[in-house]
Amino acid sequence: MKHIKFFLVFILFVFFTNHAFSQQSVFQPGDYKDAIYEKENAVHRRYIPYSFLREGDVTWEKRVWRRLDMREKMNQSLYYPKDVVEGRISLPQLVIKYILSGQIIAFEDEEFKVYFEKAFIKSKLVIQGDSADVEKFAEDGSAYNVKVAGSIDSTWFFETFSSLSIKEDWFFDKQKSSLEVRILGLGFNAPIKGKEDLGEVNQFWVYFPACRPFFSKHEVFNTKNDSERRTFEDIFWKRQFASNVTKESNVYDRRIDQYAKGIEALIESDRVKSDIFRFEHDLWQF
C-alpha cells in the first residue's frame, strides 16, 4: 500500500514538473528584452538641485539668449531620432510627451506668462491636409465625385524642428567666488510644413527648471559608447552643445541680427562670449 502511494505521489510530481517547464517554454510578450542587462542608472537618476542664491551675493549678472542649430553635428543628438525608436527619444519628443501628459506647461512667450492649453498644443502639432475630390464609379458605370478628407500629419514638428532657443542668466556669486549660469527657458523653433520659405517660427517655450526632473531620466545617444550615455540634464548642465549668441540684455532690447548681418553678426556673438570670459578672468590676479 505504501509503495502504491509513493508511486502516485511520484507520478503527480513528474506531471506538475513537466507542466511547469512546458508553461515556461511558451512565449509570452515581454519575456525577451532588447538588452543584455537592465538599464537602471538613468531611470533612477535625480537632477542636481540648484544651490540657494541670495540677491545680496550676486554682484554681477547678464542675460543672454542663444540659438542651437540642429544642423550642427554636436547638436544632432538632441534632434534625432525623428521617428519613434525603442530606447531612444529626441528632445522635442520628450518635451511634447510631458506637455501632453500635463507635467510640463507650454508657454506662448519667453516671460512664461501666457500658457497654451493642452488642446491647443494638440491642434498646433497636427496638420490637416486639404480635402480632395476623388472620382468613383457607380454600378451602372456612371462617374461621380466624392470629397475625401486630407491626410493628417502629427509628426511634422519632429521632422522640421530646426533650432532651439535658450534664455539664460550668467552671474557672479561672491559667496562661492564663482561665475555660474542658469538656464531659464527653452524655445522650440520650426518652419511650418509647406511654408519653409517663410523661415522658422517659434512654436512654444518651456520653463527649464520645471523640465529638469524629466531631462534627468532620459538618455542622449553617445556616438562613442552605448553604455556611457548622458542624460539631457547632463548635456545642458555640462554645456555640451554648440550655439551662437543671438541677443544680450541691452538698453534698446534689440537682437544682434537687428544691427549686424552675416559675418559681423558672428563676430558680435563671439564678442559677447569673450566679454563673459574676460569678466571671469579679470576677477583673479595671477
Burial profile 29-58: b = 16 or more Cβ within 10 angstroms, e = fewer: eeeeeeeeeeeeebeebebeeeeeeeeeee
The structural domain count of the chain equals: 1
In a domain, 46, yes or no: no
Q: Which domain holds residue 82?
A: 54-127+155-282
pLDDT band at 109 (very low <50, low <70, confident <90, very high): very high
In a domain, 250, yes or no: yes
Mean model confidence pLDDT for the chain: 84
In a domain, 30, yes or no: no
In a domain, 31, yes or no: no
| Cα–Cα dist 239/168, whole Å | 12
CB 231 within 8 A of CB 216: yes
In a domain, 43, yes or no: no
Specify the higher pLDDT residue, 6 or 20: 6
In a domain, 7, yes or no: no
Q: Quote the Cα angle for 260-263-267, to 5°.
A: 75
DSSP state of 247: E
| Cα–Cα dist 43/169, whole Å | 29
Q: What are the phi and psi torsion angles at 199 (to 5°)?
A: 90, 170
- Measured over the CA atoms of residue 153, residue 203, residue 104 and residue 240, the dihedral's sign is positive
Give strand pairing partners of 207. Answer: 185
Closest by Cα among 163, 169, 161, 157 to 242: 163
* pLDDT at residue number 21: 44
Please state at what angle helix 208-215 crosses helix 91-100, rounded to 10 degrees. Answer: 100
* pLDDT at residue number 22: 45
Q: Residues of the chain with pLDDT > 90: what percent?
A: 53
pTM for the model: 0.81
Average pLDDT over residues 32-47: 76
pLDDT tens string 136-177: 777 776 776 766 655 667 788 888 899 999 999 999 999 999
Residue 198 predicted with pLDDT over 70: yes
Task: List the grid coordinates of 138.
Answer: 457607380
* pLDDT at residue number 23: 47
In a domain, 93, yes or no: yes
* pLDDT at residue number 59: 93
| Most trustworthy range by pLDDT among 17-26, 84-93, 154-163, 239-248 | 239-248
In a domain, 35, yes or no: no
Map residue 237 onto helix, strand or coil.
helix
Specify the higher pLDDT residue, 199 or 286: 199
**Residue 219 CB partners (closer than 8 Å, separation 6+):** 42, 88, 229, 230, 231
